[in-house]
Structure formats: C-alpha cells, structure tokens
Structure 1
Amino acid sequence: MGTIRSGLEELWQLQGHQCLHQKPLEATPLLVEKPLSEWPVPQFISLFLPEFPMRPIRGQQQLKILGLVAKGSFGTVLKVLDCAQKAVFAVKVVPKVKVLQRDTLRQCKEEVSIQRQINHPFVHSLGDSWQGKRHLFINFWCFAVCIYCSTDLYSLWSAVGCFPEASIRLFAAELVLVLCYLHDVGIIHRDVKMENILLDERGHLKLTDFGLSRHLPQGARAYTICGTLQYMAPEVLSGGPYNHAADWWSLGVLLFSLATGKFPVAAEKDHVAMLASVTHCDSEIPASLNQELSLLLHEGPRPAQSEEAESNQEVRKETPGETC
C-alpha cells in the first residue's frame, strides 16, 4: 500500500523516532541457565514439550540483552541482539513456575501453536521457542539491525493524540485483513489493542502478542473472560457466550480512540463495573469526522449472545466466568 505520506510521517517526527520506547541497556548475556539434563527428562520439563523443545544453551555469548520492551504479569519481553546473525529480535521470557501456579499451561502451549500456524504480512511470525530449566523462551518479530526502529501504536497515540483520517483508513484496512485471515483459519485473538500493534519504518502495522488467543472454529463459542477491559466486548465482559465478533468490537474501540484521542468508555476497576459502564454509555461521535468513518464507528457488530441459538458448540471446555 506504500508509505503513509498523509500525516503519519509528521507524527513520527513528533514522537522522535524512538525505537520501541525503552532506553537500551548495557549489553549482557541473555541465557544464563545451566544446560538441561539428558533424557529421560524430569516431568516438570516434559510438561512443556513439544511446543517448547529442550535445547542446549544456544550461543550464550552471541545473544545479548539490549533492553526491556515490556513487562507484564505473564512474562518479560526483552530486546535481544543475535551477534552471529546480526539481527535484533524480541524474546518473551516466561517463568515455568508462574505458568503452573496460574494453570495457564494449555494457553501458553496454544500461543506457540497458533503463531506457528499463522503466515500473514501484518502479523509478527514466530521465530523460535524453547525451554530452559526454569523459563520458557518465545522468540518473535525479528528485524535486521539497520532497520530496527519500531514503535507500538499506543506510544505514538499517547504522544500525538488524534491521527489523520488517511492514517486511520490504512490502519483499519490492514487490521481488517488480519482479523479476516485469523477468523478464516479458526483463530480468535481476544486482545486487539494499540499496545499489541507495532509499526514498521514505513508506517505499516504488525499485530502481535497471541498470549490470549485460541482456536475457535466458525460456529463455536467461548466463555473465558480475558483481554483488556477498555477493549472487551459486552459479551466477553459478561462471561459469554461469545465468538469472533468480539475482535471486531475491539477494533471499533481502537479506531474510535485513534480518531478522537480518547477511549469511548473510561477504564473501570473490574469486568463487572466495566460491563455496567459499556452497557449504559452512548459515546458521541465528533461531528468533525467524515461520514464514512462516523458510519463505521456507529455500526458495530451484534453481541454474540444474539446468535446463541445458532450453535452452542465449543472447541474445548471453558468454565463460564473464568478469568484468564
């Protein structure tokens, strides 16, 4: 689609061409765990196979930590330099103990399974995954060193506020292509938000972080309450049933925020309060927006509850009301 010349370059300059949004740290070795034991492996290790294969420490002196990308409740994402390949990539480091304590083993394995299945120009593909004695490692969104200057959409939005409609149009088109692709292959993302969208040096996006995604064929329903409160559809906040339409709701929230500089509904303390706010709030579309964009923001998808009679099939058992 070409480089975005109608406004995004100016926004990029205002943001200062920050690479990710963290100041690089002094380079240090990434992998410091002792080598894994030989076969047969302990049950604690075999639990994570085959998605996280056992591997010897891969060139410990060649992988260097350059900085911190993000730190969340599920793990830490580090910016890493592979000295041998002269490439910079991000690696998610997840403690095994937390995975087992939170009973998220299935979700962790499914994240890798889904990313291995995906092949799309607007999705960050999985580079590799392996395990050490205490951690899981997921390597993704690889860049050549000379072009590693990427930011997430939220950082840019926080710096500049409203986006030009030409930029919003391109973001919307690329995200629609991504979501249609995912839904066609039976995947629901469940965490579409600005923080999970990276922009390359030409202004094109890459959807990332499939930590809450799951396989969900057409006609199936899910019940797990998960995602980011301000982006969650009413049917997700209420504990389901919901389907792929929940991703389209999140996209609508994202586009509204890009166009207006604010979220349609303020964040609440929990999903119960958030559901009440979303149910009783009627966000006003600014009159300054063109007719096509206003119509797009007004015409959101119907909640999945209205389609409940079509099918109650599930791909896997999920407890209604369970929180990821």
Structure 2
Amino acid sequence: MDNKTKITHSSFIILFSLALLIIVIELFFFNNQKEQDILNNKKNIAVNQKVTAVINDKISQMEVSLEVLSYGLSLKADKTAFESLAKRLIADNNMISELQYAPKGVITNVYPFDPKSSAIGHDLNHIRERKKGVERTIESKEVTLIGPVRLIQNDKQAFVFRKPLFDTNDQFQGFVIAISYLDKLRQQLPLKNFNYKIIGCDPDGENNVIFDNLSSAKNKIINAFKVQVPNGKWLFIVQSKHTHYLEQNVYLKVAMYAFALLICFYVYHREKQFRKQHNSIVAMNDQLHKASYTDELTRLPNRRFLNLQLEAIPQLTTEL
C-alpha cells in the first residue's frame, strides 16, 4: 500500500471507535423511536376512543331531545307548548343552539326566536340546498345528521339533526329539528392539545371540511380515524401540538454528527502533522546519508564511498 494512503494505528482505532459509537447511538435512537411509536399508538387509540365516546354521547343526547320534543308535540302541538318544552330541552342539553318544528316540512316554530334571523316560513321541501338531506331523512325514518352546513337564516356553520314525524298510518307529518353550532361541538371534543381536521358529509353537497387547523402544524405524526354518525361517517385527522420528543431527537442527532465531524477533522489534522513530520525525518535522513559519502569541500564522493564500492567488487565477482 502507498504510504500516502496509510494512516497510523492510533488514528485507525479512533475512527473505528467513532464508527462503533455512531452505530450504537443510531440503534439507541431506533429503539427509542420504536418505543415512542408504541406509546403514540396507545395515545392515538385513547384519543380515538375519547372522541368517539364524546360524539356518540352528544348525538345520543340530541336524539333523546328530539324524541322528547316529538312526543310532547304529539300530545299538544301549539306554539306555547312548543316553546315551553324547547326551553327546558335547551336548558338540559348544552349542545342545542336552536329547536324547530316543521309540519309537512314548513318551519312554523323556532326557539329561541330571533325576528332578524328566523327560519320561520322556510319550506324544506323546496329549498335546493336542503332537498337531498330532507329526502334522505324521510326515507330513513330515523334521525339524520347533516353538516356542517351554512344556515340560510343567519349564515352560521352548524349541524342539523332532523327527526321525521309519521302518523299511525305511516304518513309523513313533518320534522322536529335541532340545530347545533359548530363551536359547541368543538368545545366538547377532547382535542385541545391537538391540531386536527374533521371531514363530514352533506347529502346536498360533497365531503365538507368541518374544521381544519393542520396548516400550521409542524408535527408529522398523524392519527387518522373515522367516527360513525347518523347516516354517515366523519374522518378525523389529528396531530399532537407537542413536538418536544421529535425536536430533541433531531438536536441530539445533529450534535452527534457534528461531534463525529470534529473527530474526523482532528484525525485528518493529526495524520497531516504525522505525515509532515515523517517526510521531514526522511528528508533529513537522506541528507545525512548523502553527507556521509560526500567530501564537504569538493562535494565529490569521499573515501568512505570508495571503500564501499571496493567492498562490493568481490561480491559481484562471486556472483559472476
């Protein structure tokens, strides 16, 4: 091997030890990442279960409220009875923003009533933005959840729970409707420490983004899951706001490789110095060797050089 490509044994040991250290640290990070992934999976499952439980609980409360309202109206369907019952239901269920009664699909009663943004008089059967949702509710004969939609009466984003009403002959009689503003649902979700996106379904439109603040999220750990709701599913995409673990790993890796580069630079500088010293010693030895066989004044070969040549003659003669 060429001397220029050789390194000293001590430098080789340093580089070999450094390589082993990097391998050990990478294995440590890999093992930590696996443990963190397992922990994240457990957290994701817990989040999925909590979100699903909250949504199912709130939907159940809305369905019970509509059942009570429909039963109360079946006994007495005047304005006073509606307002009295609606007032109690809203007081008991903080998810309800507004209750409506729509005989034959035409809204006649609303609580609480706001003359500036009231839906009274809206014929759901003939509103293009609501037609498919209305038809689906009548066909299913069950409570349906539509949303989020932008309300015609006040331009707010809300979820619409509709329960169809039928007489004893199974003839359609109308709807009882519960409106829940989007903010009310978000306040109930256990996602305060997360960035998230929710995609719902509107029968009169396409998949709607219910809420989305993922655009500013830097964390790449994503948890996606679906939650069953009446007549559809919601897709949740969740990211944790806490990125300390990922940042810590990045910083440690950067520090580790910076240290490795420093060691490599040290070895390079060390070898360069060794090579320079070695070349200097070789040059001095050459000069001493030359000086020992050269006359100092004439710069011609001296007697020692002549003796060396004469001593070599018998050897050459023998070989011949």
TM-score range, shorter chain: under 0.3
Query: TM-score, with normalisation over the residues of structure 2?
Result: 0.25
Is the helix fraction higher in 1 or 2? 2
